[in-house]
Amino acid sequence: MKKTHFSILLLLVAMVLQAQNLPTKQQVLDQMKLANNYFLAKWPDPTTNIVTNKSRPSNLWTRGTYYEGLMQLYYLTQDAALLKYAVDWGTYHKWQPTYVGAVATRIADNQCCGQTFCELYQLDPTKTERIATMQVSIDAMVNSTKVNDWWWIDAIHMAMPVFTKFGVIKNDSKYFEKMYDLFNYTRSQAKGVGLYNANDSLWYRDSVYLPPNKTTNGLPIYWSRGNGWVFAALTRTLDVLPATAPHRADYVTMFRQMARKLIRIQRTDGFWNPNLGDPNDYGGKETSGTVFFTYGLAWGINNNLLDSATFYPAVVKAWNGLVKDALHTTGALGYVQSAGSKPADGQPLSYDKMPDFEDFGLGGFLLAGSEVYQLSKTVSTGFNSPSTVNSKLQVTPNPIRNDFEVNFDSSERYNLLEIHDLRGKLIAKQEFENTNPLKVNIKSLVKTPLTSGTYLITVSNHLHKETVKIIYKN
């Protein structure tokens, strides 16, 4: 009897420890593949129109959000079939914004697909057609004085990363400046007050939900997915925005403000409620907001903007909750709110009820998984040791082709440079004498030619390390 009790105790301890940690890298990758394969089985042809209450083109914002996640899965797996799926999609739509063809558009939803168009261009810069038409729309906005286009917070996610990517691709800060003007209007000036409540560190979806509009319980309406859109946009922007770019510090401050708020209002099951301002306003699990929050929090830890002691438990709870309670054995995702603008839309939610669009929730799940993968420990590479520090690491130029410079804080006295792929596999390493900046020739460092894609550059010593993502163009 005592042996039985001891075995049960060990099992309970193991279950508790598992709940306090992320799955292994391979398990996370398998979970991402499961969800994506479910979707690809339903949508084998990327050109097929999306039919719900009506027919819509497959470069719609919902599908554009999916491709954001698909590209992260491609970077991890280097699966040529995933890349082909994305390229075929862009080619079919002639690399144009949604609905308008070659005509310039200021509508953020129509520009969302441009995020992936830009990434596919960066993988093959000879294919200038992949960004040419989208650039017409973005340049038209850059060259105008109008700043009130993003009147709803979803728009920040749809378009802000497009401006960021053009600023990087063209090496021109005019895109960063216009992006900030648009963002700042939405945050601080819309309807004279802005849509961001600095006291609560959360956003109203649009002016309809500004005070005095409240829930029946007298509490504010902060739509979860709407705030997820903003948090994901900040994440995707900061992920590629140069360290010296104007207004970066402002984005970092807001990112941290939102992150601190989010972990305080997270549910015990790991999810966030549909209304972040009122847990009793359609309270319950909601996946689409949760995946974007998980993505941003994990990215923040991975990039040294959030301390792991404070934020890691929230990521663990969120990812494990998603996998346990939302991810079906088929790969479908439950508790995803349908397209809408407020907590009431698509209710009631459940594990078995599917939303009208399954693509944007999956895109968020893949984004979250890509950062959770990086955060998860791996025994084979020891990739998460030694400890990270507040990063000042910068690689220029980025994207890179051959020669590049690595700049870092000389006081850290780093002596080892490493290049890993996104799965943590070591590609190359080089010892050096704390030379700053460190000049590197990638072709002499890497013996086997690299394929175009995203990699991680790390500088370290026996105590600390710093890591930055780079894009390599073959």
pLDDT at residue 314, as a whole number: 98
For residue 472, the cross-strand partners are 400, 453
Which pair of structure tokens corresponds to residue 354? Answer: 């599917």
Confidence of residue 19 (pLDDT cuts 50, 70, 90): low
Q: Which tops the pLDDT comparison, 7 or 191?
A: 191
pLDDT at residue 149, as a whole number: 98
Helix (H, G, I), strand (E, B) or coil at 307: coil
The answer to whether 466 and 460 are in contact (CB under 8 A) is yes
What integer is the mean pLDDT of 366-381?
80
Closest of 314, 180, 296 to residue 233, by C-alpha: 296
Helix (H, G, I), strand (E, B) or coil at 454: strand
- Looking only at the bridges linking them, the beta strands covering 464-472 and 387-388 are parallel
pLDDT at residue 13, as a whole number: 44
pLDDT at residue 382, as a whole number: 36
CA distance 291 to 133: 31
Which pair of structure tokens corresponds to residue 72? Answer: 């992260």
Per-residue pLDDT tens digits for 277-305:
999 999 999 999 999 999 999 999 999 99
The answer to whether 386 and 392 are in contact (CB under 8 A) is no
Task: Say if residue 8's pLDDT is above 60.
Answer: no
Report percent pLDDT > 90 for the chain. 75
The answer to whether 349 and 11 are in contact (CB under 8 A) is no
The answer to whether 314 and 321 are in contact (CB under 8 A) is no
Per-residue pLDDT tens digits for 99-142:
999 999 999 999 999 999 999 999 999 999 999 999 999 999 99
CA distance 343 to 278: 10
pLDDT at residue 10, as a whole number: 47
308-329 per-residue burial string, b: 16 or more CB within 10 A, e: under 16: beebbebbbbbbbbbbeebbee
CA distance 269 to 28: 19
Which pair of structure tokens corresponds to residue 260? Answer: 């601190």
pLDDT at residue 383, as a whole number: 40
Per-residue pLDDT tens digits for 47-85:
999 999 999 999 999 999 999 999 999 999 999 999 999
The number of CA neighbours under 13 Å toward the Cβ of 6 is 3
The answer to whether 195 and 206 are in contact (CB under 8 A) is yes
Confidence of residue 2 (pLDDT cuts 50, 70, 90): low
- Kindly give the interhelix angle for 61-77 and 80-92, rounded to the nearest 10 degrees: 150
pLDDT at residue 345, as a whole number: 97
- Between the CA of residue 94 and those of 60, 119, 123, what are the distances in Å? 14, 15, 17
Confidence of residue 395 (pLDDT cuts 50, 70, 90): confident
Rg value, the chain, Cα: 22
Task: Say if residue 7's pLDDT is above 80.
Answer: no
pLDDT at residue 318, as a whole number: 98
CA distance 312 to 324: 18
Task: Say if residue 86's pLDDT is above 60.
Answer: yes
166-187 per-residue burial string, b: 16 or more CB within 10 A, e: under 16: bbbbeeebebbbbbbbbbebbb
- Between the CA of residue 36 and those of 43, 87, 195, 369, what are the distances in Å? 10, 17, 34, 11
CA distance 77 to 96: 27
Which pair of structure tokens corresponds to residue 368? Answer: 């979250």
- Please tell me the total number of residues recorded for the chain in this structure: 474
Per-residue pLDDT tens digits for 144-182:
999 999 999 999 999 999 999 999 999 999 999 999 999
Task: Mention every residue, 6+ apart, whose C-beta is less than 8 A from residue 4.
Answer: none
Report percent pLDDT > 70 for the chain. 93
CA distance 454 to 127: 18
φ, ψ for residue 420 (rounded to 5)?
-120, 155
Task: Say if residue 29's pLDDT is above 90.
Answer: yes
Task: Say if residue 334's pLDDT is above 90.
Answer: yes
pLDDT at residue 415, as a whole number: 86
Q: Which tops the pLDDT comparison, 8 or 202?
A: 202
DSSP E strands in 3-68: the ranges are: 50-51, 55-56
Confidence of residue 391 (pLDDT cuts 50, 70, 90): low
pTM for this model (two decimals): 0.86
The answer to whether 387 and 449 are in contact (CB under 8 A) is no
CA distance 474 to 449: 8
The number of CA neighbours under 13 Å toward the Cβ of 410 is 6
DSSP 135-146: HHHHHHHHTS--
Per-residue pLDDT tens digits for 399-418:
787 888 888 887 778 888 88
Task: Say if residue 38's pLDDT is above 60.
Answer: yes
Task: Mention every residue, 6+ apart, whose C-beta is less than 8 A from residue 272.
Answer: 224, 262, 265, 266, 286, 289, 290, 293
Residue 23 DSSP class: P
What integer is the mean pLDDT of 346-361?
97
Task: Say if residue 459's pLDDT is above 70.
Answer: yes
The answer to whether 228 and 289 are in contact (CB under 8 A) is yes
How many angstroms separate the first and last alpha carbons of the chain?
65
The answer to whether 251 and 237 are in contact (CB under 8 A) is yes
Mean pLDDT score of the chain: 91
What integer is the mean pLDDT of 19-26?
89
Helix (H, G, I), strand (E, B) or coil at 291: helix
CA distance 383 to 423: 10
User: Burial, 69: exposed, middle or buried (Cβ in 10 Å; 0-12, 13-18, 19+)?
Assistant: buried
